[in-house]
């Protein structure tokens, strides 16, 4: 069921993209030959006002077919006959709809669930930030001169520095301070009780129904107190103990509404990409409408920057193709978000992931890469400047070459997605 929900969620994101193209095309008088939900053989269809609305057999995605998009058509309702600015509007509308959807989804999510606001920082004891003098509530302003917009930046801005010290600017009591902090290496192979903690505490904030801890009885709201009768007080101590314990079954003692319970859990072995960490986390708190809007925008800015850095890292070899996620990985990730303990957590995780993917889809499509919307925008912008149309057949060939390259990348990422799932 989780995979079905994931496919539906991904389809919603793609359909929103195509809906943008559809609405923009209709707004400038371009005939839409077909607007389809899903792909593959046609199941049902109905024609209205010159447009065929169809539902197809493979339940993922969708598409719009515009008159004159791939060939010169002498018609007032043809895409090829429209002015460059009108073409740019139609092409850009798809990505813009994805970005708008992400902003609206994040805004609503933050309004109803809260957000990790700027001064809700938690400095984990014995971690680099804490050891350098930072304390809970310090607002992180920048890292190496780059503004911190969102908690996402705490990982992104130090990912590619290979463990070198960074300058962290922070605010405390309306005063600015700067500290040089050396991050520690995180990720790799680790052994987990497999739950999401609340901040730096050992309170269970989320847990997958498929985890051994959930099956044995651990639930959201429980507070872990001991592992094999060894007392714990924070996440770092739990991690350190589990690193020593390894794959051996561990006795987990937890408190629930004043009662002490004990279960035996088989550790979950996690093999994550290595990254660098300052030991700074953010806690959730309720936000006002204006704060929710601010953080939705800030999250989007941080995501845009992370995409820019990801491309740069791929080119420079900081990350490899094996770390890029394809459709199978996206569906699997979306599926994992719905394996939560409560409906609220399911919706929080699903909407957050959908917004992130929609934002990525919109921004990636604006890149000037052949076959993507961004390259077409550049072509029509040049048309406007030179006052002469490009040959549609030639531009179609360029798009075809780009599409072949993207399909090759798709096959590579799909292979690595499957390899990650099955541990190859």
Helical H runs in 342-391?
Answer: 343-365, 373-386
pLDDT number for residue 325: 56
Taking all residues of the chain, what is their mean pLDDT, rounded to a whole number?
83
**Dist CA 161 CA 199 (whole Å):** 25
The model's pLDDT over 86-95, given as tens digits with 9 standing for 90+, comes to: 999 999 999 9
Q: Which residues contact 240 (CB under 8 A, 6 or more apart)?
A: none
**Dist CA 194 CA 117 (whole Å):** 25
3-class DSSP string for 223-259? EEEEECCEECCCHHHHHHHHHHHCCCCEEEEEEECCE
| 271 — pLDDT class (breaks 50, 70, 90) | confident
Residue from 284, 202, 275, 286 nearest 240 by CA: 202
The model's pLDDT over 300-358, given as tens digits with 9 standing for 90+, comes to: 888 888 888 877 877 777 666 666 654 544 445 545 544 555 566 667 777 878 888 88
- What are the structure tokens assigned to 259, written together? 């009662």
pLDDT number for residue 413: 59
The model's pLDDT over 192-239, given as tens digits with 9 standing for 90+, comes to: 898 888 877 899 988 888 889 999 999 999 999 999 999 998 888 898
pLDDT number for residue 414: 57
**pLDDT greater than 60 at residue 424:** no
User: Which domains, ranges and CATH numbers included, belong to the chain?
Assistant: 114-186+274-321 (2.30.42.10), 194-266 (2.30.42.10)
**Dist CA 162 CA 275 (whole Å):** 8
The model's pLDDT over 7-22, given as tens digits with 9 standing for 90+, comes to: 777 788 889 999 999 9
């Amino acid at each position: 069921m989780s995979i079905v929900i994931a496919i539906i969620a991904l389809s919603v994101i793609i359909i929103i993209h195509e809906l943008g193209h559809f609405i923009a095309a209709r707004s400038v008088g371009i005939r839409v030959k077909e607007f389809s939900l899903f792909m593959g053989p046609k199941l049902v269809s109905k024609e209205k006002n010159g447009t065929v609305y169809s539902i197809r057999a493979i339940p993922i995605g969708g598409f719009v077919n515009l008159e004159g998009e791939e060939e010169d058509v002498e018609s007032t309702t043809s895409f090829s006959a429209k002015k460059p600015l009108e073409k740019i509007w139609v092409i850009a509308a798809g990505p813009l709809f994805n970005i708008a959807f992400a902003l609206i989804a994040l805004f609503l999510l933050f309004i109803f669930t809260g957000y990790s606001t700027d001064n809700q920082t938690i400095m984990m004891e014995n971690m680099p930030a804490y050891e350098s003098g930072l304390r809970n509530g310090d607002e992180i302003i920048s890292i190496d001169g780059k503004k911190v917009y969102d908690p996402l930046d705490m990982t992104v801005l130090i990912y590619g520095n290979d463990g070198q010290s960074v300058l962290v600017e922070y605010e405390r009591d309306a005063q600015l301070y700067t500290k040089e902090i050396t991050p520690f290496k995180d990720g790799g192979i680790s052994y987990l009780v497999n739950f999401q903690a609340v901040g730096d505490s050992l309170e269970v904030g989320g847990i997958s129904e498929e985890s051994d801890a959930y099956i044995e009885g651990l639930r959201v709201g429980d507070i872990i107190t001991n592992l094999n009768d060894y007392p714990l007080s924070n996440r770092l101590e739990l991690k350190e103990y589990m690193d020593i314990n390894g794959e051996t079954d561990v006795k987990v003692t937890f408190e629930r509404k004043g009662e002490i319970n004990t279960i035996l859990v088989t550790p979950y072995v996690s093999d994550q990409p290595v990254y660098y960490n300052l030991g700074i986390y953010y806690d959730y708190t309720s936000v006002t409408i204006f704060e929710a809007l601010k953080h939705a925008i800030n999250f989007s800015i941080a995501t845009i920057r992370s995409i820019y850095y990801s491309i740069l890292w791929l080119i420079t070899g900081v990350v490899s193709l094996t770390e890029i996620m394809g459709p199978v990985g996206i569906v699997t990730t979306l599926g994992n978000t719905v394996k939560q303990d409560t409906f609220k957590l399911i919706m929080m995780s699903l909407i957050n992931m959908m917004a992130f993917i929609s934002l990525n889809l919109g921004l990636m499509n604006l890149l000037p890469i052949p076959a993507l919307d961004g390259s077409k925008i550049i072509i029509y912008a040049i048309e406007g400047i030179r006052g002469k149309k490009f040959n549609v057949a030639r531009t179609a060939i360029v798009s075809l070459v780009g599409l072949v390259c993207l399909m090759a990348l798709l096959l590579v990422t799909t292979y690595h997605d499957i390899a990650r799932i099955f541990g190859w």
